Amino acid sequence: MVEQAKVTEREAREVAEEARESGWSKPSFAKELFLGKFQADLVHPYPRPTAEATAKADEFLTKLRAYCETLDGTVIERESMIPDDYVKGLAELGCFGIKIPEEYGGLGLSQVAYNKALMLVGYVHSTLGVLLSAHQSIGIPEPLKLAGTPEQKQRFLPRCAKGAVSAFLLTEPDVGSDPARLAASAVPTEDGEAYEIDGVKLWTTNGVVAELLVVMARVPKGEGRRGGVTAFVVEADSPGITVERRNAFMGLRGIENGVTRFHKVRVPKENVIGREGDGLKIALATLNTGRLSIPAMCAAASKWCLKIAREWSAERVQWGRPVGEHGAVASKLSFMAATTYALESMLDLSAQMADEGRNDIRIEAALAKLWSSEMACLVADELVQIRGGRGYETAASLAARGERAVPAEQIVRDLRINRIFEGSTEIMHLLVAREAVDAHLSAAGELADPDASAGTKAKAAAKASGFYAKWLPQLVTGKGQLPTSYNEFGELGKHLRYVERAARKLARSTFYGMARWQAGLEKRQGFLARIVNIGAELWAMSATCVRAEMQRKEDDEKTGKEAVALADAFCQQARGRIEEQFRALWDNTDDVDGKVARSLLKGEYAWLEAGVIDPSEGTGPWITGWQPGPSKVDNVARRYLPDTK
């Protein structure tokens, strides 16, 4: 069995730090928000696409909508597989090359159009959105657009645009959020013309049907060789590649996710993306906009949930009135409507900013992924509750009884994964928190470094004093305290004044946390998560208000008023959540929770488990190891479409 690399906590942190994009060449609304600055001019006036881009996108989306209306998502749910002809139709429309430039055979459309396309196919079945997003958001196209050579783009992008499905392979059986322990190897051949890849990759979304793969493997360091985790383009039918299993999940039935083994797979050196050792950096850069695919599908799911909840709550009568008129359900409907508006607002503003290219949106996209995945699950759960027993019943069972086949329980299952993949909620909290404290680490990081010398710490102290002497006074007062500020937003101005005040309070709280715990702050994950949650809510409030103001000016009077009403409702709800998070920064059960958890891990509460019958016992190890060598099982790989080579 292959042994995982022995990596210390410090070494793992250094690998992650080396992979992150440290420079800030463009302004960032969210970065400034965490520093206590509400820079409304970065998001207002609301960025808008050109008329030409809108017309081009609308033409494609109209065709896609018409095609989606011919598809039957229940077939995918029932058979746990996407029919080949569904994929063929999507390929013929150009759906596999939505963001690929026209010069490479793609449609050359915007992030906004791409998000809308994901929403449309997601209405048919969530798995269709996963197929397209895994291919274009993290598969071959995006890494090559960011770091590929002209020759690589010419070789692979036209194939991707035609429908050569691609997949991204990073995770391994014992390597998830800690890439420092990556075991897959890519050893240079003696002739120096290629690499030989060995390893096993787990949860390879699209991997079962992919024609092209982005594979992350570790190149050993050597004389004149940088080494490190490196990204490769690999032909999926290369000798030595075996898809050993197609995995099955709680939701997303039809997803082509597998286990892929590499045994002495020869990959030409021309297929390295970027440089040796840049694999993780490329992966994180890809996710800057790639993460927006999840908010797109979350927004689509929430819009559908809202539609069903509204229709059912008006139709279903209990105690002489429609259930939606009863207070308990009315509050749920309000939450669903306001949150859905915010989800769509955050998504649209993030995408518009990505297309505009004026801002660095790495934090905005990360917050959108984090917040959307959490809130969409809450919206779907409320739908199930409103529907009662019918919400828990499958669509097939409802149809068999002669009732409307509403797949509420399916949407709960399909949405649940969004809180896990492309960065779990817990990892996203840490990732965003690292960016939130970046300015502080730049100013005073060496003060908290236990290995720093006395001289280094003295210099760091002087640097930190200069930074905080200028920064802290800026957090005392601001525009949010002036009742006339942001009046151009009408009745929503009060909420933006709150955002400005809360941003300064958030920055002060972050500083207090650093001063209190110093190097120990990174261990205070509950505190950091609350800091990030507050930032996410403030970003959502900002996006919602600027969108509502745009609609008030550009849409008809009725729609404009309704948008402002929804934004107002959302902001009131968000402010309640923010105040609770601020309170919990300092008044919480984090310490006692840690104590209980440590005791639990030591077995001190084993008596609580007495009498349990565990059907999983004896079925296998927690994590399956892997042995190097050729595969001993049949290859289950297949293709939707003919090979494009």
Rounded distance, CA 438 to CA 413, Å? 36
Same fold yes or no, 291-423 and 434-590: yes
**DSSP per-residue codes, 381-434:** HHHHHHHTHHHHS-HHHHHHTTS----HHHHHHHHHGGGTTTS-HHHHHHHHHH
What's residue 230's pLDDT?
Answer: 98
* CATH topology (fold) of 168-285: Butyryl-CoA Dehydrogenase, subunit A; domain 2 (2.40.110)
The amino acid at 185 = S
Q: What is the largest CA-CA distance in the chain?
A: 82
Positive or negative, the Cα torsion across 627, 630, 631, 635?
A: positive
Contact partners, residue 456, CB within 8 Å, separation at least 6: 446, 449
The helix (run of H) or strand (run of E) holding residue 306 is helix 293-315
Domains of the chain, residue spans = 51-163, 168-285, 291-423, 434-590
Rounded Cα distance between 539 and 397, Å, is: 41
Note the pLDDT of residue 606.
96
pLDDT the model gives residue 6: 67
Written as six digits, the tokens of 403 are: 């009732």
Take residue 419 and report the two structure tokens written for it: 């809180």
Residue with tokens 């030989």: 196
% helix, strand, coil for the chain, step of 5: 60, 10, 30
How does DSSP assign 333-372, residue by residue? HHHHHHHHHHHHHHHHHHHHHHHH-SS--HHHHHHHHHHH
CATH for 434-590 (3.40.50.1000, 1.20.140.10, 2.40.50.100, 2.40.10.120): 1.20.140.10
Per-residue pLDDT, 3 = 57
User: 291-423 belongs to which homologous superfamily?
Assistant: Butyryl-CoA Dehydrogenase, subunit A, domain 3 (1.20.140.10)
- pLDDT for position 558: 98
Based on the residue annotation, tell me whether 557 is a catalytic residue of this protein.
no
Residue 265 pairs in a beta bridge with: 197
- Count of beta carbons in the 10 Å neighbourhood of residue 538: 24
* Residue 203: per-residue pLDDT: 97
Mean pLDDT by 10 residues, the chain (645 residues): 66 79 92 98 95 97 99 98 98 99 98 98 98 97 97 98 98 87 96 97 98 98 90 98 98 98 98 97 92 98 99 97 98 99 99 96 97 99 99 99 99 98 94 91 72 77 86 95 97 99 98 91 96 99 99 97 99 99 99 98 97 97 92 97 91
Instruction: Write the class of the CATH domain 51-163.
Output: mainly alpha
Question: What pTM was computed for the model?
Answer: 0.96
8 Å CB contact between 527 and 585: yes
Which of 172, 344, 409, 422 is an active site residue? 422
Instruction: Give the helix/strand (H/E) hosting 97.
Output: none
Q: DSSP readout, 113-154?
A: HHHHHHHHHHHH-HHHHHHHHHHHTSSSHHHHHHH--HHHHH
Q: Measured between alpha carbons, how far is 258 from 443 in angstroms, rounded to an integer?
A: 45
Please tell me the predicted confidence (pLDDT) of residue 626: 87
